[in-house]
Amino acid sequence: MYTRFLGSLLLCFLCVSSLRAQENLSTINLMPVPAKVTLANSHYSINKDFTVELQGSSTIRLQKAATRFVARLRGRTGISFSQDFIKGNGMPSPNGLLVKVEKEGTLALNMDESYTLQVTDEKILLEASTDIGALRGLETLLQLVEVGKEGFYLPTAKIEDQPRFPWRGLMLDVSRHFLPLEVVKRNIAAMAAVKMNVFHWHLTDDHGIRVESKVYPQLHEKASDGMYYTQEQIKEVIAFAAERGIRVVPEFDLPGHATAWCVAFPELASAPYQYMADAILDEKGMMDLNVKTAPYHIERNAGIFDATLDPTNEKTYEVVGNFLNEMAALFPDVYMHIGGDENEGKQWDANPEIQAFMKEHNIADNHMLQNHFNKRVLKMMEANGKRMVGWDEILVDGLPKNAVIQSWRGKESLAQAAKDGYQVMLSNGYYIDLMHPAEHHYLQDPLPDNHDLTEQQAKNVLGGEATMWSELVTPETVDSRIWPRTAAIAERLWSPAEVKDVEDMYRRLSVINWQLEELGLQHLTYQEKLFRNLARGYDIEPLKVLARVAVPLRFYNRNSMGWMYTTYGSSYRQFVDALGPDARDARDFNEWVEAYLDGGDLSKEQAIADLLAQWQGNHIAIQQLINKSPALEDIENLSYRLSEAARVTLEALQLQEQPSYEWYRERLDIIDQARFDGPTTKEFLKVEKQSLAKGGSRATLPVVTAMERILKVKAGQLMAYRTRKDITVDGVLEEWKEADWQVFTNGAQYTGGWYKADSAWYALRWDKQHLYLAFKVKDSDVTAVQQERDGAKLWEDDGIEVLFDPLHHRSAEWQEDDIAYHVSAANIIMDEKGMKGEQYDASWTGNAITAVKVKGTLNEEKSADWGYTVEMAVSWDELGVKPKKDTALGMTLCVNDKNSVTETYEYFDYMHLKVFHAPHRFATLRLSTASEEKTDQKTQ
């Protein structure tokens, strides 16, 4: 084994062509970061005489963009310029901005968006091959604006820039919640500000068809609740986007997600029932097609529904074909998205006519039946000069190579499709509706460093799209769910791959955040407006304090445990709707704690204490607000648990000596309760399906792991109880039913709520001969391939590790008495003691007794595993310890598991260690002669 660093990032430097003189790139706020930047040590002053002149191909698009540029510069600086509307070519001003363009750009894949920008202390020159490239350069120029003692200025610089990927999109779902035209347009304007170039408009789904059809008016008349875009409005959006160098790609989801289609055309449905739960099936599982229930109706809940178009019905192709013909004329872009996702085929399976069709045509399964449908639709699209885009479910054998695959289920499908010759784009990792922090999205790359594609295959990767599904948003809140995080995704898709410094990204994002507001976005203003409404006009500062440390539940945990938000019946004006995924104070607190505990920065202690004191005291003010406004009752528990966790963390921060185990456990439980305002960790992990209890604020506190780290570093303890019975080490854990089971999990999975979170339950016992350890590790994909004891890569396998500091030296370095045991899920051991030169001594062989039972399958990726149990006995002689009451030694417990995001193995441990084999951060193991206290946690 070797020292492992968790959560560390390599610092990547920006590409520059020369020394950067006095000024460093970390002082400017460009997002996306350009491909090549050179900074000098002077500046260009902006004053009332500033002008813009156009030369070369002065297109209408460029004139409008230049006019908007001047207006935004005027608004940002407060300077009144002599120019208002920029028109045509003209002689350049000797000290203004000259924009030189060779030709008008074509809105298409691989359009030329490159530009060069040169700022001297006297003038500015922007050159581009196309007007679209010039638009990108104008956005960079606006981001360069700074202010100093003498006024507003631009740093002198030379920038040469072009995008890394040609497809940089935002998908906006307007079916589940309809979003008015002004919302769509202001988000397109924001896309242009960060150099995105594809607006993917999700216009149909189970919840409504949002586009006017003159060929089949019943589509928007019957299946939209009256909320749809007229064709004139569609044209308005397309023109608005084109003026900003953005293509519009419509999506019409087929053949699944078809409830709204079936409302307008019930004869196209694959079943007379909207829900297969209503179907009466015969002994062969087939339904009676003549029995009808209530007519189809538009869906109001989130979820995957049964309604699917009938691919064996010729009228389906007639209606779909005529509709697509109409839409092809309306949307000029060559690409059209057909969805194709989440068709579970339940109606197809139970329809005897569809089954007979499949048999007659040798169609093996539902995937190939959908492929039959897709190929017919593809011909319709090709007849209109269109290319098909679909979610990755459409990728099956026989799909024509001219289809484009949008990968949402995983990077593996994207890579395989690229290898198979398909053009692809990534959305997996860019699902902004899941409320991950910006960092999560920023580190997802369509072409990661470790990809195995050839140069030609890599060219098939077009880029990616952020996806904004609208189950839980409204026109008031949607901006805050898209921005500013989508700017980080825009940078990932535009900037060089080596630009990935997370801290610098957040620095620049904080500036871009408020700059985006000038485009009409409401992502900042909506919060105080909502808080004033909830507080009925009373002081909202206590709500703002809580909001700076709380985040919404991530993934789809807001809909869980019998609670389901409906499209129009549920309130989306709750406290959680005002929260963003990157809580400012939470981020600062976590960084300060890491610097204090891992970096030895004692200067951060006071800042940590100040925030803890603020959170502790804020609950009184929250209670007073709740008394005045019952609409805030759902945050009372969240506020109280934060206050209590802050109180005990502050106590731990001020500890001078290690307290009793009882003191420690009581405070550990208090901090643990703050993870959710619903269940405790134990209660939560009892639930087989990882979801949260009904009610509460639907928010969580991403500072709890940092609080727990403070407590554990100051007072971390483990307790082993004296066993009164013989223990057989067989992995079955029969003797452990009444044990005092405790739990730890990956701290990263705590932030913002869990989704299928892996965890480790443990219990400790001892007798005169052995220390006994039992683990129940929840792991949804158990992998362990090494078969050789002490194998060099054994640490890469799933398993547990136990580390001991037997003499309790609490040294920062690994000592000769220190021992580590790794037990893989295949029950292969790797153990080591002390050092052998500069390496940990794996040649040492211990005599630990181990047993493992896998609950599920081993090394089968597609299987759903529960996890595995481990039982272990370590002799006191091997540890060199004489057991007795109050014996103390250093110890920590670890789990090795594969990170599904980074595809790497990493450890999570009881003490949340950043560096392993560091005994000074181990917990203190104490031996108790008392009987174990029974807990409500029996078996998991």
Query: In whole angstroms, how far apart are CA 347 and each of 253, 305, 371?
Result: 17, 10, 16
342 is a catalytic site residue: yes
For residue 804, what are the β-bridge partners? Answer: 819, 891
In the set 104, 146, 221, 342, the catalytic residue is: 342
Q: Phi and psi of 851, rounded to 5°?
A: -150, 145
Asked if 67 and 243 touch (Cβ cutoff 8 Å), the reply is no
Cβ neighbours around 451 below 10 Å, total:
16
Return the sign of the alpha-carbon dihedral for residues 423, 429, 430, 431.
positive
700 contact partners, CB below 8 Å, separation of at least 6:
550, 551, 552, 553, 675, 676, 677, 750, 751, 752, 753
DSSP state of 27: G
Asked if 777 and 760 touch (Cβ cutoff 8 Å), the reply is yes
798 contact partners, CB below 8 Å, separation of at least 6:
777, 779, 782, 783, 784, 824, 825, 868, 896, 897, 898
For residue 287, what are the β-bridge partners? Answer: 281
Cβ neighbours around 85 below 10 Å, total:
10
Pair type for strands 198-205 and 167-173:
parallel
d(CA 296, CA 298): 7
d(CA 776, CA 322): 58
Q: Give 256: exposed, middle or buried? Use CB within 10 Å, 0-12, 13-18, 19+.
A: buried
Pair type for strands 97-103 and 36-45:
unpaired
Asked if 851 and 729 touch (Cβ cutoff 8 Å), the reply is yes
Q: Give 678: exposed, middle or buried? Use CB within 10 Å, 0-12, 13-18, 19+.
A: buried
Select from 450, 444, 542, 528 the least CA-distant residue to 490.
Answer: 444
Q: What DSSP string describes 195-258?
A: T--EEEEEEEETTEE-B--SS-THHHHHSSTT--B-HHHHHHHHHHHHTTT-EEEEEEEESSS-
DSSP state of 6: S
Q: What DSSP string describes 71-123?
A: HHHHHHH----S-SS--SB-PPPTTSEEEEEEEPPP-STT----EEEEE-SS-
HEC sequence for 473-498: CCCCCHHHHHCCHHHHHHHHHHCCCC
Cβ neighbours around 359 below 10 Å, total:
9
Select from 102, 151, 107, 98 the least CA-distant residue to 128.
Answer: 102
d(CA 594, CA 747): 13
Asked if 188 and 237 touch (Cβ cutoff 8 Å), the reply is yes
DSSP state of 269: B
d(CA 759, CA 784): 17
d(CA 592, CA 57): 53
Asked if 858 and 826 touch (Cβ cutoff 8 Å), the reply is yes
Q: At what angle do helices 636-653 and 704-715 cross, to 10 degrees?
A: 30
Residue positions annotated with a catalytic role: 342
